[in-house]
Amino acid sequence: MTDVEVAVVGGGPAGALTAALLARAGHEVVVFERSPAWHWRACGVFASPATVRALGRAGIDENTLGRVARPIPAMRVETPRGTTFRLTYGGWMPPVGFDRSALDPALLDHARAAGATVCSGARVEDVHLDRGGPSLAVRTPSNDVERYAARVVIGADGGNSIVTRAARVARPARLAPRVGLSYHLADRAGDPIADARMHVFRDGYVGIAPVPGGRVNIGIVLGRSWSVRLAEDGAEAVADEIVAGVPVLAGAAGSPPDPAAWREGARLDRVAGASPLGHRVVRRAGHGWLVVGDAAGFLDPFTGEGLHRAVVSAELGARAASAALRGNPGALDAYERAMRRRFASKDVVSWLVQVFLERPGLFEYAARRIAARMPVRETMGLVMGDLVPASRALDPRYVGALLRP
2-73+92-174+277-350 and 179-274: same fold?
no
Is residue 292 within 8 Å of 15, Cβ to Cβ?
Answer: yes
At the topology level of CATH, where does 179-274 sit?
D-Amino Acid Oxidase; Chain A, domain 2 (3.30.9)
Q: Give the CA count within 13 Å in the CB-facing half-sphere of 145.
A: 7
C-alpha angle 346/351/354, rounded to 5°?
A: 130
183 DSSP β-pair partners: 218
CA–CA separation, 30 and 35 (whole Å): 15
Low-confidence ranges of the chain (pLDDT < 70): 188-193, 250-261, 304
Q: Measuring CA to CA, which residue among 388, 391, 296, 389 is closest to residue 335?
A: 296
Classify domain 2-73+92-174+277-350 by CATH architecture: 3-Layer(bba) Sandwich (3.50)
The tens digit of pLDDT for each residue in 190-246 reads 554 578 999 999 999 999 998 998 889 999 999 999 999 999 999 999 999 999 999
Contact (CB, 8 A) for 48 and 26: no
Domain residue spans of the chain: 2-73+92-174+277-350, 179-274, 359-403
Q: How far apart are CA 146 and CA 119, in angstroms?
A: 12
Distance CA(96)–CA(308), nearest Å, equals 12
Maximum Cα interatomic distance, the chain, rounded to a whole number of Å: 66
Question: According to DSSP H, which parts of 234-373 are helical?
Answer: 235-244, 306-325, 331-357, 360-372
> What pLDDT is stored for residue 191 in this prediction?
55
Residue 250's pLDDT is 63
pLDDT of res. 126: 96
Which bin fits 165, alpha (ψ -120 to 50), beta or left (φ > 0)? alpha
Tens digits of residue pLDDT in 60-80: 999 999 999 999 988 999 999
pLDDT at 178: 86
**Burial class for 251, CB neighbours closer than 10 Å (0-12, 13-18, 19+):** exposed
